[in-house]
Structure formats: C-alpha cells, structure tokens
Structure 1
C-alpha cells in the first residue's frame, strides 16, 4: 500500500526574511537573526522568529510545527502574513534542514521537550498558539499534553490522525467491501513491513516515519493518555484527492478510500473540538490537498488571525 502522506521535498528557505530583530520577552532582550542556530539540550536548531519585539503582554506567540522531514520554509506563504498581526516562531526539528542531526528517535515527548527548551532559551514565554501540519499535528498535540498550561490554542492542518485506531483504519476498508483477509494483510503491510537499514544520511525524516509507524501500532496510546487543555481548536481538512495515478492502489478504489477516511477523521475531530468546551472549527477545503498551507494560505491565515485575536482578547487583564 502506498503511504497516504508521502514525504515532500524540502522547500526553499525564506528568501526575504533577513535582519536582526531584538526580542523582548520577560523583560529581557535577546538578539536573534533570521535563520539563526540556537543551542538547546546540547544540540543546535535552526529557527526563525518575527514580531516578538512588538509582542504585547500575554499575547499568544504563533508556533509552527512542520510535517514529516520538511523544513520550516514550507510555511513561508503563511508566516509572511501571520507575522503582520502576531509574533511568530518556526524551527527545524533535529536532523531536518539546518538543524543538527541527532541520532535519537523523535518520540513525541522528546520533540515536545526540545521545543520547550528552545523557547525557554530564547525567553519566549507562553501563551502559545500551536500550528501543526501532518506529523506536526501529532507533535503539537503531544506538546499540549505535556505543557497544557502554556498552550492557548491549537490549529491542525491535515494532521496525521492521532485519534485513529487500527479498528478505525480497518472500518474504512469494510465500507469499501474489502474482504477481512485482505484487510488484515494490508494492515500488516502498513505497520509491520521491515523498514530496512537506518538511513543515517536522511536520519531526521527516516526516524520520524519510524516514530509515526510505532505510534500507529499502539493506537497512539502515548498521546491518547495525555491531558487535552481546554482551549479553542481548529482542524483544516484538505478535500482534494491528489494521489498520482501511478501510485494508486490496485487493490481498492483509492479515491473512495480517501473520501471515506476524511469523513471518518472529521467525525472524531468534531468530537475532540466539542470536548474542549471552547470555540472551535472544522474547516473543509474542497480545493486544497494535503499541503493546505500552499493550496489555500489565505484561508489558513484568516482563520489563524481570528483565533489569535480571540485568544488575545480572552487573556486576563484585556
């Protein structure tokens, strides 16, 4: 079976983001250049920041978490606009882009801890509005679970579905009238195929794929057990089927599978939004594919602005 989330080629970096902003957080000035490397937990991470020097007290910082093996440049269309109304932070995880390669499996607790330490080193205080695409959605959900008091909002862009169980996955194929034997075989191929030797050259992306696979084997148990903060949540769903003909399954109707899976995901995400007790939204974009930040950056920016402003207004003292 073909992966439903192929790794995209790394995007060009922010060609227009230059200069040396002076950041004032917690009363302390920090000099950070665009594309700077920052040391955290003994390793160097490539970061980008904008607008922190103009941040108001308790204003949420918009933090971007990229998809599997993808550099921070994939956010350039969104960040350029979001930085006009909010302070922003983006970075490359270990082994991605210009960040140092670290031979450690990027489990959710590790990634959450690294991001938390980077923000601490830079004196970027909460509250945080976390934005995650694809695997980045898994990582922001785990960050919110480990540091619930620091998170003020969550925005998921076509995330790898951390609410999905193996039973949910199999039920999609049952709706396609696939035999139980073939369903079991496909699940086994999806989760238990040998991964081969360690790809030390592309360890960042390789290890992230391994981590996602292990999480799926356990129905994302490591994340399901984490608390969910009572904060507003956005889910953006790409409704455009864009798997190339050459990569489509020969065992089932791949397009029908895509739409059934989206419907199944959205029902669980709707329940998650309601469970927080806060205002949230499920945004289905029929013309956007998996990379919603490319296909409809305008909708993403508009919704992030609404969420940012709502969080800002609801902060104590405002």
Structure 2
C-alpha cells in the first residue's frame, strides 16, 4: 500500500508540472505543452519542438516524457493547425519564427534553446535558429524539408536515372509551378496545412534563398535521416522508378548534409536509420532521445 501511495504521488507531481494550455501571443491563441520548467536551471537549455506540416504537438508523444527528464520541453501547434487559432495568413518562416518567439516571451522562457524540427518543422527550426542565433544552443533536424536542396540538385537525381530532359522539365513544372487552388477555394479547416505547403513550394522555387541567407549559429547540428522507403506500390509514380529515386536522393543528400553540419564550428552528427521511415521519432524514439541526450551532455563540457 505504501509503495502504491508513493507511485500515485509521483504520478500526480509529474502531471502537476506538465501543462497543456492555450497561450495568446501576437494576437493568436496557441495550443502549448510544457514540462519541466519548474526546476529549470536558467543556464541550461529548453528543448523546443517544431512539428511537421499540418501536424499537431501530439506527434511528439513518443519522446516528450523521456526528454523532459533531461531538460524542460515546449511543444506547440502552429497557427491554423490542430487546437491553435485558425488564421488566414501565410505561415512564412519569418512570421512563424516571430510567433514562436512571442510564445516564449509570454511564457517567460528565456534562452538558451535546443530546437528540434521534423519535416516542415525542420525548415522552421532552421529559420528560427537563423533569426535568433544568439539564443540557440543546438539544432536537431529530423528528416527535414531539405532547405539545402536546389532545383538543379533535384533535376540531377533524375538525370542519374536517365530520365529525358523534357520529362524532367515537365515534372519540375508540375512540382513547383503548376497552378494551385486559390485560398478562397480552400476549406478553412485545411488552410493551415495547405498554406504551409504553399510556403514550402515558394521557398523551393527560389532554392530556399531566404533561409540560406540567415546565419547558422555555431552550435551542434544533429541530423536524422530516414532510410526506409515507405511509398506503397499503388501510390508510386508512373513516370520513374520512385524507389530508385529515393536511394539516389538519399546518397546525394548525405553529402550536402555533411557539408551543412561542418558549416558550424561545433560540428554535430549525421544519423542514418535504415529501418526508420519519415517519422523517425515514432519509428525509433530511443535513438532520437539518446542522441539528444548526447547533444545536451556536450553542452556542459
């Protein structure tokens, strides 16, 4: 009975210090989850999470509790996604970074920060690190939207697969320039994910010029790369061998990401997981948690 009471007390204390609430910042109500802030050493970083495109903060439930044992954590839904207010503004990297900064200020969460981004969230994490480089202690990118890629990089993969130039031009047009639905024809429930896709497309058309112009802080950069091809046969492209494309793209991306990591004087790690798909933090949560632990430990040496 005594052990049961102790376990229940520990559980209640854990819940008491984990908060899920709405926070108003820049005139918008954001759905926010925090844990571990009550015991924070002000010199140690807070881990901040940026979700994938149109995905809510619950997607991090595989790693949040374990990482909260190492450092305070904050996850949130971007504007227009899940429980946060639905606003009808394009979620540019500048606007999204400003919103996150405002949330941190409202909650009185001072830097330093280790920012963790998955997929589209990796792009936003890189941008936040560039807008506020002096506040970042570490950058963790989990199979991010590839802001180091150019249109020519993309086309060169198809050339390696011996795709005719005319077909390459056609596929690039369909990917980046084919007219999309105007905002007035988008269901308001899906405006958030739709608008994030528009921002990603616009950045790709410029080879991510806005993001590349931002400084990269001299902090450890940890990059997780998914090695598992997940597209089922019935959904694969009829224009090219999509699995072969995935394999070639993985190899050329590794080289670019290696160079990106070395562009920080603190270096970092490139972690390739052959059995993980795009949602690495769900397929192999222990590897993600263990490597973020290593990053945190490196900051106190």
Distance 1:58 1:18 in 2: 23
User: Structure 1: how far apart are the matches of 2:107 and 2:16?
Assistant: 14
**Which one of 204, 213, 216 corresponds to residue 201 of structure 2?**
213
Q: After the TM superposition, which residues 186-265 of structure 1 pair with which residues of structure 2 at under 5 Å, given as runs?
A: 186-198=171-183, 199=186, 200-265=188-253
TM-score (norm 1): 0.88
Contact 1:17 1:34 in 2 (8 A): no
CA distance in 2 between counterparts of 1:269 and 1:73 reads 28
Question: What whole-Å deviation, never above 9, does each CA across 1:77-136 have from its counterpart, x for those lacking one?
Answer: 011210111110000000111100111000000000000010011010000000000000
Shift of 1:193: 1.6
Shift in Å, 1:309: 1.8
Give the whole-Å Cα distance in 2 for the aligned partners of 1:249 and 1:142.
31
The RMSD of aligned alpha carbons is 1.4
Instruction: List runs of 5+ in structure 2 lacking aligned partners.
Output: 1-11
- Report the alpha carbon displacement of residue 279 of structure 1 after superposing the two structures with TM: 3.4
TM-score, scaled relative to structure 2: 0.93
| 1:170 counterpart (155, 167, 172) | 155
Which of residues 261, 271, 275 in structure 2 aligns to 1:283? 271
State the Cα deviation string for residues 216-264 of structure 1 (Å, max 9, x = none). 0000011011111111000000000000111101111100100111111
- Structure 1 equivalent of residue 258 of structure 2: 270
Aligned to 2:8: none
Aligned to 2:101: 116
Q: Give the structure 2 partner of residue 126 of structure 1.
A: 111
Residue in 1 that maps onto 2:37: 52
Higher normalized helix content (fraction of residues): 2
Q: 1:237–1:283: 8 Å Cα contact kept in structure 2?
A: yes
The equivalent position to 1:86 in structure 2, one of 71, 76, 86, is: 71
Q: Return the match for 2:293 from 289, 305, 317.
A: 305
Unaligned runs of 5+ in 1: 1-15, 22-32
Which whole-Å CA distance do the structure 2 matches of 1:137 and 1:85 have between them?
21
SS of 1:80's partner is: helix
- Stretches of 4+ aligned residues off by more than 3 angstroms: 16-20
